Structure formats: C-alpha cells, structure tokens
Structure 1
Amino acid sequence: MTKLPSSIFNEVIGPVMTGPSSSHTAAPTRIGNLSGQLAGGTLSRVEITFETNGSFATTYRGQKSDQGLAAGLLGMLPQDSRLSDALSLVRDEGIDLKFLVKDFEAEHPNVVLLDIQDEKGGRVFVKALSTGGGRIELNEINGCPVYMAGDYHELVIMLSEHPAFSMEQLCSKVESKLAKGKVQVHGSSVSDNSQKGEKWRGVIVIHSRQRLSPECLEDVKQLCGSAELRQVAPVMPVLASARCEVPFTRAEEMLSWCVEHDNAPLWKAAVTYEAARGNVDESEVVTMMEYLAGKMEEAITTGLTGDFSMRGFLMPTASGLQHAVKERSFIPTGMLDAATVMAVAVMELNSSMGCVVAAPTAGSCGVLPAAVFSALDALGVPDDCRMEVAAKALLSAGLIGVFISEQSTFATEVCGCQAECGSAASMAAGALVNMAGGSAQAACDAAAVAMQNSLGLTCDPVAEQVEVPCIGRNVSAVSNAVTSANLAMHGFKGNLPFDDVICAMWEVGNSMSDTLRCTGKGGLCTTPSGVKIKEEVDRIRFAS
C-alpha cells in the first residue's frame, strides 16, 4: 500500500495526549490499541520485546512506553487520563504483561514486537514501530508483511489453512461481498506465508472508511471458512482515502500555488491542503484546529498552576517564573517574557503526564503554544477572535510541518532534537509570520532560518526524562522562532530555500552517532552528574 501524504492532524499537530513523549508514549498506546484489537478475545498474556540497540530498550520506563502499551492493550487512546495508571489496571484485569529486551533484526530504532495470547489460547504476533510524533506502522501480523497506519477501519483476515481458492481470489470475493453491502473499499493487501511452513498461511487486510455491519461481517465469515476475522478501528483522527490528491508536498510547490491563487496566505494554503488530504470540508479543518488551539490554551493554564507532581527529578517552576515577570524582575525581552513562562508551563505539565498537544512532538510541545498565545497578547488580538487567529496560525505551522514530515522526520531517534525542537521552531516561525500579516514566502524564509539555527541539535535527555535539557530547549526554540520571523519579514532571508534546509537536517541527523539520538548513551546523559541523577531516579522508580 502506498503511503499517503502527511496529514496536519495525523502527523504534525496532535495528538492530544498524556505526556511525556509522542514517539515513546502516544505511539506505543496506539500500537497497543491496534494490536489488542487483533486478539480473538479477552487478553490473558502479553509479551513485549524491544531490540537491544534500539531507543525503547533504554528509555521505555523513563518515557512511559510500558504504560502506553499497557493502556493501548486495554483499549485506551493517547489522551486517556487513566494512562498513568495503566500498568496497575493491566494487573487488575489479570493480564500477565512482560517486557523483554533482546537482539533481533530491526530496521528502525523504535521497533516493538508483541506476542499476544487470549483467554481461549489463541495467539497473534505483531511487529510495529513508532515513526515519530505519535505516528505508527504495523508491519507484520503473524509473520506476514502488512501495512497498517491506524487511519482506516481495517478488516483483517488471518488464514491458518489454504483457502479453496488463491488468497488473491479470496480477497477479490470479499471485496465484492463488501460492495454488495455498500462498503467502499479503499485498498487491500494480500500477504502469502504458505511457503514458509508456518501455522499462519497468510493475512489479508482490507481498508475502508466505515465499520462493517454485523450482517455484512457475517456474510464475509461465511465466505472465509475457518479463517479468523478481526475488525480493527482506527486510532488516528483523520482517515485515509484512496482518492487522495493534495495540491503540493514541498514548500517550493506551495509558494507557486499561493502566487497562482492571488497570493493566498499560508493558513489558506494549509486549509486547502488538509481538506484534500482528509477528504473533508475546509470548514471542518478550521474547526478541528480551533479545538486543538483550545487544548493548547488549557495546557498553558494548567501548567501555570503548578498543581501537579512532575514524574522525573524537577519541581514545577512556571508559576514562580510568572510571578517574576509580574514583579518585573525578569530581564525584559518583550513577548518572550510570557513565551518563556508558557513554554515551561506546558513542558512541566507534559513531564507530569498531564494533557498536552504534540506539536510536532510531545518533547517540543511547549514551543508552538508559547509562541502563538504570547503573540496573541503582544499583538492585542481581541478576545472574540483569539481562537480564530490562533487556529490560522496553527494551520500555518502545520503546513510548515508537513513539508518537514514529507522530506525528513520528527523522530529524534532518527535525527536528534533538531527534528523535534528544530522543527517546532520552524513551525512556530511560520505561524508568527502569518499572525503578523507576512507572506507565505516570508513564512518559509523564517522557517528556513529557524531550522538553520537548529542543525546538529542532539537528543540526550538526562535519566530518560523529558525535562533536562528538553524544557530549556523548548524555551530556546521559541526565541529562535521569534527572531527568525522578524528577520525574514524585514529583508533577511538566509538565502537557502526551506526545502533545501529540510534535506540538510535529514542528512545531518543521519550522520549523528546513535548515542546522541534518544538512547541515553551520550551527551548530557553520560556526564558524571547526569549519571548520578539517573541512578537516583532509578532507585526511586524501582523502589516504588
């Protein structure tokens, strides 16, 4: 199945989630959810394996991947407030859940294997990976290659013996049966495992934008004989579509489109893009983004209270910083005073496993809300249109993020923190230019400058907690965004087009040592003080 162009809501801004990590908490929750739906009944035992040299092996406890997977297996989604208690809830359900670290061949740092057994003794084996920012892929079911991204209603047919006709013929017959039931098929895949001598002969996956009725499912069961059927519900907010034709996927293409459409602003290009990507009305796109803007504002407000306990080794400080600003004891920096406090507030809430919006990741979730909401105040935007202005700014940021997603990655495990805080700075710079009335060209120039300023940024969180240096880097990224926006709107362009800078980020990231890409094996993590902090965090964690 061909990978679709990135969606602003699936790949860039979102999910609304329980912290602290989009790739290590939210994505595992989605993986667990999809995998659990493949089981034939109530779960009894689950064995989850991480690859020895991958990112999960050293960070799955500190970044709550274990809790995310457990939550997903219980049917939760990333925004579920019960996620922080998921391991206890799994035990209460009588599920034997084990985590292992072993050597196996893994094509990506974030691969996870799941061996799931239900109460009747049925088993299903799943191979999946987290690709950054909460995105996921299921790559194998029972040893059969598949592609599931959680953005369709999937009918999964698992065959343990040869069908009366070829698997391709069976797939065709099932699709015909679905068509008679008025179910529109948006693609399918057939994976034949019969030559390997395995129990499972093959897997058929059929994609749709609607769930099958019980009557339709029963008709398919009659056709498939002894095969096991599963209906798997999507976990992404925007469904995929076989008829997906977006107007552009590169910044250069978008800028030409804007010129052809009466010098359309960046936010308008974003609305047009996302409506085409999701096969939805443009008004629905704006409404969805206004909802996310509201969630970001809620995260700022909650983070400023400091009424929570961070799960690492720091204490909340945002309320104290806000008091310092009010008392004018901050070195004055204009809107950056408020932006600094907001970025810290959101990131501290994220560390406490509070509710945040990944933008584009949870590790950089403080940058965009801090930039946008501090700018609303600095620009004197009236209360009755704050959400509209915020939504347009976030749509602009989302489109900048699409270009990054299409040509590089948000996965710090692949390209370091430049892919997280660097991308967030670029997105925020584009948003600020839009808010200030700048052109789409100026927004792309600002995004390019911000990313140039971030190249080579490592990912080395101390004790695997999204606290140090993550909170400080969010604050720095906001400052980067503001200054880059001002430069680009008033003549400084940085000379290099945004697409070129994105490709440079990809090249730089892939040349980094894996010790500097969220493995806890280098940089600040291995300083004497970093090691000491980790030992203390581990002592407390294992004691509890």
Structure 2
Amino acid sequence: MISIFNDVIGPVMRGASSSHCAAALRIGRLARDLMGGSITHVLVEFDVHGSLPATHTSQGSDMGLFGGLLGWDAADARLPLSPTHLQQAGVQVEIRYIDCHDPHPNTYRLTLSNGVERHTMIAISTGGGMIEVLEIDGARVSLDGGARVEIAGRVLHPVLPVQSNPQAVLPFRSCAELMALDGGREIPLWRWAVEYEMARGKLTDGAVHAMMVDIVRILRASIAEGIAGTSYADRLLGHQSGKFAEQMARGTLLDAGVLNRTVLYTTALMEVKSAMGVIVAAPTAGACAALPASCIAVAECREQSEDDMARAMLAAGLIGVFIAGPWTFAAEVGGCQAEGGSAAAMAAAALVTLAGGTLTQATGAASMALQSMLGLICDPVAARVEIPCLGKNVIAASNAVSCANMALAGYDAMIPFDEVVAAAASVAERMPREHRCTALGGLATTPTALRLSRELAARSAAAASGPGSRPGDE
C-alpha cells in the first residue's frame, strides 16, 4: 500500500538520486540483515540492458548500497566515503555487468558470503527510494522493507518510516474514488491526505501532521544551507543560488513576483543535493526541489506558517499517492515526466491548498500541470543529476505556480487526473531506453556533455590516487 511518507514525501537522504542512493541503501540494509551483519564478500551484478551499468557510480548506487551493507541510514554524513569504510570493514566487493535481460532497469543481483554461509538476493529500485525484494536464495518473495520479516533464519528489519499495516482499509486508492467519496463537499485535499495516512499507517491525526512539520523544517534548513553556499568536487555546477539571492536583493532581476523566490529556493535545494547534503526526495532526489521550493516560497510570501506549509505538502503527497499506485516516479521507467511531471502536479495542488482553494481546484491544477509535461525525457549530462535537472525543476515549479492560478481562476482541466497519469504511463512505454536516465541520449550525448564527462572522470581518478585525498571534497 502506498504511503505518503514512505513512497512520496521522503526519504530524508543524501545523494544525487533516490532511485539510486536511497533505494540501494535500503537494499543493502536488508542484505546485511540476511547475513546477520557478517559479510566478507559481495558480488553485485547489473544487467547490461538496464540503467545501472551507466549510472551506478555517478548517481550513487555504490555509495548507497555500501552504506546499507554497513547498516547506515540514508542521511548519514559518512555516505560519500562508504566505499572506503566498507573496505576497512573487511568486505570485498566485486561488480559485474551481465547479459540477463532483467525486466526492470534498476535490478540488483547480490551474492553475499562470509566463509560460513552464502545467500543471494534479487531486488529492484522502483522509484523515489522505494524497493521490492523479488527473490532470496532462489525463492520468490515480495518485500518492500515495510515490515519485520523472518527469512532463512534471519530477521530482516523494516527500512521504511511507516511500517506495513496488512489490515489497513484504505478510504480510496485513486483520485476518482476520492472525488466520489467527497461527493461535492469540497473537503480540503490535505484533510483527505491525513485521513488516508491515518488509515494506511495506523497513525493519529497529530502524528501525521507532526511528521510533515518535521520534513518542512528539514527542507527550510536545507534551503538556507544552499543559499549560504555549498561545494563538492564531483559536480558540474558550482554555487549559483547565492548570486541569484544577491541580484534579487539589488532589484536587478526581472520582476517575476513569487516566482523569483521559487527559483532561488529550487536552485538552493538542487545545490545541496549535488553537495551530498540532506534533502527530502519529494517525490525523488532528482526532482527534490520543485515541490518544496514552490510551497515554501509561496507560503513565506503570503506570511503563512509552517503548519500551513505542512498541510500543503500533505495535499501534494496525496496527489503523489495517485501517481505512485498505478505508475512510477522512476525516470528509469518513465523518463523525467515521471519525476519532474509528478513534482509539478504535486506542487500545483499544494499551492492551491495554500491559497485556500477547493478540492476540485487542487486536483484540476494537478491535472493541468502533468498534462503539460508528458513526454519529458531524462538525459542527465555526465550521468550527474544536475544538467538539465536544475532547469527541469525550475520548469516544474513555474508550471505549478501557473496551473495553481489557472485553477483558482476557474480554468477547466478537462482531463481527469487519473486519466492523465494513465496517459503518461502509456507515453513511457514508447519512450526509448536512451531517454530514460541512462545518459545515452538527449543532452547527455552532445559533444560538450561528453567532454564534461571525461573531465569529471579524470578529476575523480586524480583525486582517488592522490596521497591523503578525500574524494568528493573541494
């Protein structure tokens, strides 16, 4: 069952990609439990036809997986150095690319041993940090890390913030079901989000709200960190948000109203992500900025409270539930329409909520926002989640502001939200692999992008070979 805090607004994490860093870490945590914490050798196999051979190093799959094998959490400050820590712990890692035609592009095949016992695990990253374990020791399973499970004489502990509740009876699973249940009463979307999460996770109203307020505070701190300045060696873009803030203060930028603050906050969050700072995958790390930046910027301009921000983020989370259930947030499956498009839809609903709009206006804004981003490809330059990811987050946030105002003014979305999600999924099925986060198409294959990729590789090699070097720092 989809959870707002498990699947949509979260995890709180470090790294470039939730599909890579956070998901790999969760897989590693479960693998560690399977071995009782005693591991001396790990064989990791990736399908040559999937996304991971091209991205597991640059987008943090290795970092996350190794951190998970060490038992760390997704926001651990040591994560950038997890390969070194794993080696120091006496664990030998071997990575192979194999031709096995795995159905999912983000498939991890692990063989773990310690001289006494040996176990195998096959797991997939399904988007936004979510995972599914498909096989353990050759036996089919279906585990999402949301519950305590005993397998092969070992306990696999939960890796999700909201644990599974098999007895949960959800009030609705789709936007259409929600609208039918509301019956024209126009109960605010955020209120329905609370009802959903209370049923899904056996949580109280207060607990749901408090969890989201905590997330808002993490996000506001990350925005401030980004504007103050970040640095990291293995990145393409330097600190730019500070310059934007300076020009805003001087009044030299075009007067775009709340959009200027939104762009500033979007840039700041993306820079924190690229510097391995703490972010919230909302709904993913690659699209971590559009929703929180627009939500917090608009709320601040309207002099609204963190409670108001939390309610808006809850409304956004429920829109994400309606996407994650039938489809995905993973760019490896759906292109950037699955990440940036989803973020835009969620943000549009959040902004309508901040403005006191109706349930119909919030879902209509989400529909319009996603409609205008169908077909958006994922083509990260040098396999880093920076270019054109920054611009796509800005587009998503700008789209959200526009669609929120259109909905508030009474514009008709025409196509129901669930149908737009289905259309996006259909588009994804026809999208070539090269345009789904493999760095094999689009901007990633331009001459300049290829040059930047070579330069980053050379810089990383030089840093790794230097005496006393600490990879990642500047």
Same fold (TM over 0.5): yes
Query: Structure 1 residue 236 and structure 2 residue 232: aligned?
Result: no
2:65 alignment partner AA? L
Structure 2 residue 192 is the aligned partner of structure 1 residue 272: no
CA deviations over 1:180-238 (Å, ceiling 9, x no partner):
xxxxxxxxxxxxxxxxxxxxxxxxxxxxxxxxxxxxxxxxxxxxxxxxx1011100001
The equivalent position to 2:441 in structure 1, one of 497, 522, 525, is 522
Note the residue ranges of structure 2 that are not aligned, 5 or more in a row: 465-474
The 2-side partners of 1:277 and 1:324 are apart by 45
Deviations 1:88-144 (A, max 9, x none): 1011111111222111131100001111112x4311111000000000011111111
2:235 to 283, 301, 312: 312
Unaligned runs of 5+ in 1: 159-228
Tell me, yes or no, if structure 1 residue 293 matches structure 2 residue 212.
no
Q: C-alpha distance in 2, partners of 1:308/1:274?
A: 37
Q: Look up the match of 2:149.
A: 154
Paired residues for 1:290-369 under 5 Å:
290-309=213-232, 311-369=234-292
CA deviations 1:39-69 (Å, max 9, x no partner) are: 1452111111111011111001110111110
Residue in 1 aligned with 2:133? 138
CA contact (8 A) 1:310 1:348 kept: no
Tell me which amino acid in the other structure corresponds to 1:292: I
In structure 2, the partner of 1:62 is 58
Q: Output the amino acid matched with 1:380.
A: E
What is the aligned partner in structure 1 of residue 9 from structure 2?
A: 13
Of the three residues 35, 39, 48, the one matched with 1:39 is: 35
Distance 1:455 1:283 in 2: 37
In the alignment, what sits opposite 2:472? none
Q: Secondary structure at the match of 1:479?
A: helix
2:311 pairs with 1:392? yes
CA distance, structure 2, for counterparts of residue 41 and residue 151 of structure 1: 19
Flag as ranges the 4+ runs of structure 1 deviating above 3 A. Answer: none
Counterpart of 1:127 in structure 2 is 122
Q: Between Structure 1 and Structure 2, how many residues are aligned?
A: 463
**TM superposition shift of 1:21:** 0.4
Instruction: Determine the C-alpha separation between the residues in 2 that align with 1:479 and 1:16.
Output: 24
Contact 1:40 1:122 in 2 (8 A): no
| Residue 271 (structure 1) shift | 0.1
| TM-score (ref. length: structure 1) | 0.84
Q: CA deviation at 1:494?
A: 2.6
Q: Could you say what secondary structure the match of 2:164 adopts? A: coil
Amino acid at match of 2:287: S
* Percent identity (aligned): 40
The equivalent residue for 1:459 is: 378
Q: Tell me the distance in 2 between the aligned counterparts of 1:144 and 1:44.
A: 23
Aligned partners of 1:319 and 1:143: how far apart in 2? 52
Secondary structure of the 2:422 match is helix
* Alignment-mate amino acid for residue 531 of structure 1: L
The answer as to 2:95 corresponding to 1:96 is: no
Note the C-alpha offset of 1:339.
Answer: 0.5
The 5 A counterparts of 1:102-501 are 102-118=98-114, 120-156=115-151, 158=152, 229-259=153-183, 262-309=185-232, 311-381=234-304, 386-501=305-420
1:310 deviation in Å? Answer: 5.5
Tell me the distance in 1 between the aligned counterparts of 2:131 and 2:326: 17
Distance 1:88 1:537 in 2: 20
In 2, Cα distance between equivalents of 1:304 and 1:63? 23
Quote the Cα distance in structure 1 between the aligned partners of 2:438 and 2:186.
44
| SS of equivalent residue, structure 1 residue 137 | strand
**Structure 1 position 77, deviation (Å):** 1.7
Q: Is the contact made by 1:115 and 1:126 (CA closer than 8 Å) also made in structure 2?
A: yes
Q: Deviations over 1:455-484 (max 9, x none)?
A: 110000000101100011111111000000
Structure 2 contact 49–101 (Cα < 8 Å) conserved: no
- Opposite residue 421 of structure 2, the aligned amino acid is I
Cα distance 1:412–1:431, how it changes in 2: closer, same or farther (>3 A)?
same
Contact 1:309 1:316 in 2 (8 A): no
- Which of the two has higher C-alpha Rg? 1
Paired amino acid for 2:306:
M
TM-score, normalising length: structure 2: 0.96
